[in-house]
Structure 1
Amino acid sequence: MRINKTTIIGIFSCMIIIYIIHRRKSSRIINLKEALSLAIYASQSGGNVILENRNNLIIKNKGLTKEGLEDKVTSADYLSHCIMVKTIKHHFPSLNVISEESDTLCSPSDEMEKFIKHDSSNLDYVKEEWVKADDLTIWIDPLDATHEFTEKLYQYVTTMVCIALNGKPIIGVIHKPFENITSWAWVGKSRSADLDTNKKVYGENVKISISRSHSGKIKEILNEKLTNYELIEAAGAGYKSLQVAYKEVDAYLHITAIKKWDICAGNAILDALGGKMTDREQRNIDYSKNSNVINENGLIATLNNHDKFIGLL
């Protein structure tokens, strides 16, 4: 058989087409173990850029919250957003990613390129699982507790990544950059070592964590319905979710509307620990890509005795 130039070009072209088709198909199937590793890396990368820029901030005001406070955003919020989103999109371009700062235009830079190159974390003990990319939604909060960040109340600051499968949160990562602690959990699979605690820290009085800046009328409502309870005001939904996970409080209650990127990661972590996060009518929160980004009906987050707090709000 004589092989001419046209035949060689035809064979080569077919190989390229087959390769492209294979890449497109493979990009539509996601390894959740790799996605977890990437979520951990992205949250830590976002935290690193927050640390690097904490003393060189440009602060803007988005407007006023319902409580009349300035809704602040900083240059660190934007940088963290760009690094976290670019990191995930670089490795999984077909994934649907929703971030608090999704309107931000991210310009290419060498500073960002060094972050998006990812080597898998040491998760050899975690089993692999493959799902369709179309079934996943990634929720990112690049800097939770921005208001407190500008006040240098750094203990409340977190970066968060949540992976929802068909609207249900299954992987949550909450990173505390100023303490260099990363808490993560994959429902039914595994969790970070800091969440493997059986210590009993609940006291005689019920401890309830609420927002220090978005509390609404929750104090008045709880005073009418509860006695012998201790109220703890804290910032950042990620921080308060971890208070519940660490058994520092019995419940995290929120009565006003809250964005889903604030709560998705905490929801996944509590689910993995056998706890619950619902709205105040005990309905599960939908994190699918076409859902409203605002959870309008408050929330109740607990590890135990969830029913005890239903009806209070």
Structure 2
Amino acid sequence: MADLDLGPLLAAAIDAAHDAAREILDVYAGDFAVARKSDQSPVTLADARAEAVILPRLMAAAPDIPVISEEQAEATGLPAAAAERFWLVDPLDGTKEFIKRNGEFTVNIALIEAGRPILGVVGIPAQGLIYAAAGPGTAGRHDASGTRTAIAARACPPEGAVVMSSRSHETNTDLDALLARRKVAERRIAGSALKFCRVAEGAADLYPRIGPTMEWDTAAGQAVLEAAGGRMTRLDGTPFTYGKPGFRNPGFVAEGR
């Protein structure tokens, strides 16, 4: 497989996330209807408008790399198998949080190669932030002015881990059992891929997830986290990969250094 220059692709993904954020916030500022997809998850005009600006940006930057995106998959179906290299896009991760108007929703764009996320962009429209990375040591947080600040995951402090969990998925007994084996100082709740960003920037230490997710929910966050020095594995400690049948994820643990 030919080597990629990830710099221009990262720049294109960041630009796409910026454009998507503008579309999302325009919808967010007014009244909007909520529909239901085939799996009964909610969807709004913001999901569609964000995707409509992201896909052309990515295809213009890399015409030969296919894109798998959540709303497109709902409309046309998923491919039977993943390509060796492909984009994974969730144009609005955390639609439930968007509907609640709590600001905890993200734009997720990732590039996958040989089952691993090698580039990731997580935009947080309500905060004017974009987290982006394309390989070890490249993780950064971009503010609304475009200023980039390098970020790094931290080692778990002696007093115990700050643990992130999902706002819209209640803590269950399996998660409690997993955390019982860890020293926990604090548990915090947040929606969407925001949780990965908190671990990647050293504001939290652990994000375990027992319940199901889709690959576009996690790929961008994993890319940023790993570039910041953290790691993400399945619950049994084996590598967490992409391009799985149905593009569905098992449980995982994302953690700092």
Partner in structure 2 of residue 140 of structure 1: 89
Task: Confirm or deny: 8 A CA contact 2:152 2:229 kept in the other structure.
Answer: no
User: Are 1:255 and 2:229 counterparts?
Assistant: no
Unaligned runs of 5+ in 1: 1-27, 65-69, 107-133, 305-313
Task: Give the greater-gyration-radius structure (CA).
Answer: 1
Q: Alignment length, in residue pairs?
A: 241
Partner SS for 2:121: strand
Q: Distance in 2 between the 1:74 and 1:144 partners?
A: 12
Q: Distance in 2 between the 1:37 and 1:223 partners?
A: 38
Partner SS for 1:178: helix
Partner in structure 1 of residue 235 of structure 2: 280
With over 3 angstroms needed to count, the CA separation of the structure-2 counterparts of 1:198 and 1:73, relative to structure 1, is closer
Q: CA RMSD, aligned part only? A: 2.7
Partner in structure 2 of residue 34 of structure 1: 8
CA distances 1:29-57 after superposition (whole Å, capped 9, x unpaired)? 85422211111111111111001111132
Task: Confirm or deny: 8 A CA contact 2:234 2:253 kept in the other structure.
Answer: yes
CA distances 1:250-290 after superposition (whole Å, capped 9, x unpaired)? 100100111111110111112112210111011212223x6
With over 3 angstroms needed to count, the CA separation of the structure-2 counterparts of 1:52 and 1:299, relative to structure 1, is same
Taking structure 1 as the reference length, what is the TM-score of the superposition?
0.69
Partner in structure 2 of residue 303 of structure 1: 256
Q: Which range moves more in the overlay, 198-207 or 242-251?
A: 198-207
1:103: how far off? 3.8
With over 3 angstroms needed to count, the CA separation of the structure-2 counterparts of 1:103 and 1:258, relative to structure 1, is closer
Task: Confirm or deny: 8 A CA contact 1:183 1:195 kept in the other structure.
Answer: no
Taking structure 2 as the reference length, what is the TM-score of the superposition?
0.83
Q: Distance in 2 between the 1:47 and 1:146 partners?
A: 13
Task: Confirm or deny: 8 A CA contact 1:174 1:184 kept in the other structure.
Answer: yes
Partner in structure 1 of residue 197 of structure 2: 242
User: Are 1:96 and 2:70 counterparts?
Assistant: no
With over 3 angstroms needed to count, the CA separation of the structure-2 counterparts of 1:259 and 1:195, relative to structure 1, is farther
Counterpart residue type for residue 303 of structure 1: G
Unaligned runs of 5+ in 2: 77-82, 141-147
Partner in structure 2 of residue 59 of structure 1: 34
Partner SS for 1:79: helix
What's the % identity of the aligned pairs?
A: 26
1:92: how far off? 2.4
Q: Distance in 2 between the 1:283 and 1:199 partners?
A: 21
Partner SS for 1:58: coil
Counterpart residue type for residue 130 of structure 2: T
With over 3 angstroms needed to count, the CA separation of the structure-2 counterparts of 1:74 and 1:281, relative to structure 1, is same
Partner SS for 2:41: strand
Q: Distance in 2 between the 1:266 and 1:285 partners?
A: 12
Partner in structure 2 of residue 117 of structure 1: none
Q: Distance in 2 between the 1:196 and 1:162 partners?
A: 18
